[in-house]
Structure 1
Amino acid sequence: MQKNWDPKIYLRYEQYRTRPAIDLISQIKLEIPGAIVDLGCGPGNVTHKLANKWKKRQVYGIDNSHQMLAQAKANYNNINWNLSAIENWSPQTPTALIFSNAALHWVSNKSSLLTKLVDFLEPGGHFAFQIPITEHSEYQVCIRQTIESQRWRDKLKKIWIYKDPLPAESIYQALLPVCSTVDIWVTNYFHVLEGDSPVTAWIKATGLTPYLEVLSHKERHEFLSDYTQCVNKSYRTQSNGSILFPMKRIFAVAKKEA
């Protein structure tokens, strides 16, 4: 499903969005030659870090958003950018590293996709990804409450949204048969968000996109107003006016059997 992502809105919190990717990259020890692929690369800010760490390798950024790839191409000309949905992508030759930062949660049939992606690796190659754990988060609860409200249910309730979480056991069971090692961990980040309606500003760039893109300009304004009322009740404003925004993420680094 193609998304009309807005890279400028997405990069408003670039430091916080990039931090998990940096943490993930630090745990990858590539031992074989070959290319690197960033699935769901967005505006390329993380792909650029992959290219900087492994300077002598071919690096590819894959995304299904024309807007995001246009931003990536404008900023980084030393990387190969390709338009594709993750579930439809396949490399021409096996790769050394398949990397994905906060993208796989948008895809259905996640467990089978993990096994499929490992098949695209060279023997001894690595598969590394992280996704947010959002199922019971306050901002996700507010998304559900807003789209299921009387005002929006007829128009938005049937809109696609990822519904199947990917717990650690599912990740492990999917990767264990085809990988020699599987390392899984969870980190809970606390982001200090500032400005007017900062939680809405964060989620507007990602989790609200499937809903906003089917609404008119007037409806978007009304929908965001309803959503903001909900999240403002759910997140306490700190003494300095900021909001402490928890974001839990699950990470995995797996090595394909040599």
Structure 2
Amino acid sequence: MASTGPGQAEDWDAALYLKFEDERTRPSSDLLARIPPIAPKYVVDLGCGPGNSTELLAHRFPQAQVAGIDTSPDMIAAARKRLPGATFLRGDVSALSLEIPADVLFANAVLQWVPDHEALMPRLMEQLAPGGVLAVQMPDNLEESSHVAMRVAAAEAPWADKLKSAADARTSLPSVDGYYAMLRPHCAALDIWRTTYHHPLNGHTAIAEWVKSTGLRPFLDPLTPEEREAYLARYTELVAPHYPVHADGKVLLAFPRLFLVARKPL
């Protein structure tokens, strides 16, 4: 996960994010499994969030120096408490400049907040040591009902004027072919895939709870507490018809994610 969204008025909430820790950590594990067998000396977790993904990296690469970078003080504090043996620093992925090249750059659920991927991806490859690996996972769910409802609710009165630019906080991801074209000239090997997870959640209010800590933040931050409560009620009303309740009371949240693993030439 992580946090680097531009122009966000409030800090990220580590406790709220970790409410769905198992579900949020699974893509990190799947991404980590596709990193080829290497013995890195320096591993950097971009947009480390509360350290759940950094912890996976530390276990996978116990001999490496592991660092996490995030814009959020609350996330950094939670990460330091969770993993005191790692180094955690505040920083913005969009302006990343490492003092020494990394052997692994791991970016789990962060780059969707950073614009201009055609410039970003080659720049990240330049931060790698020879033979280093860039591993990326990004939510690819802007057209899912869970996210369409955010924009529909935002366009309604009385908060429409406040939320005119909220939908622009997330970057619309290029196609798989687009990523291949922008990364292949910089890679010895490139692996791209897309997976849709289906998370069982406890009803429609749980969908709102899930997205409150991530996708809904640009929509909630500009609102007053009273407006937030009303917006969330309207949002939950809008998503309900798209997620049927099963006999056990669960709804299935479909969550597509795009994965990239690019290895720099030696």
What amino acid does structure 1 have at the position aligned with 2:19? R
Measured in 1, the distance between the counterparts of 2:215 and 2:172 equals 15
How has the CA–CA distance of structure 1 residues 178 and 124 changed in structure 2, closer, same or farther, with 3 Å as cutoff? Answer: same
Quote the residue 1:226 is aligned against. Answer: 234
Quote the residue 1:156 is aligned against. Answer: 163
What is the CA distance between 1:2 and its match in structure 2?
Answer: 5.9
Query: Which of 206, 214, 218 is the matching residue for 2:214?
Result: 206
Structure 1 stretches of 5 or more lacking a match?
A: none
TM-score (normalizing by structure 1): 0.96
Quote the residue 2:32 is aligned against. Answer: 25
How has the CA–CA distance of structure 1 residues 2 and 71 changed in structure 2, closer, same or farther, with 3 Å as cutoff? Answer: farther
Superposition map of 1:26-65 within 5 A: 26-31=33-38, 33-65=40-72
Superposition map of 1:105-184 within 5 A: 105-159=112-166, 160-184=168-192
Assess if the C-alpha contact under 8 Å between 2:204 and 2:239 holds in 1. no
Measured in 2, the distance between the counterparts of 1:22 and 1:187 equals 13
What is the CA distance between 1:233 and its match in structure 2?
Answer: 2.1
Structure 2 stretches of 5 or more lacking a match?
A: 1-5
TM-score (normalizing by structure 2): 0.93
Q: How many residues align?
A: 258
Assess if the C-alpha contact under 8 Å between 1:2 and 1:65 holds in 2. no
SS of 1:155's partner is coil
What is the CA distance between 1:196 and its match in structure 2?
Answer: 6.0
SS of 1:197's partner is helix
C-alpha deviations, 1:10-55, integer Å up to 9, x for none? Answer: 1111111110110110111243542001111100011011011101
What is the CA distance between 1:200 and its match in structure 2?
Answer: 0.4
Q: Provide the alpha-carbon RMSD of the alignment.
A: 1.4
Assess if the C-alpha contact under 8 Å between 1:105 and 1:132 holds in 2. yes
Question: Are 2:73 and 1:80 aligned?
Answer: no
Question: Identity rate of aligned residues, in percent?
Answer: 36
Measured in 1, the distance between the counterparts of 2:200 and 2:246 equals 10
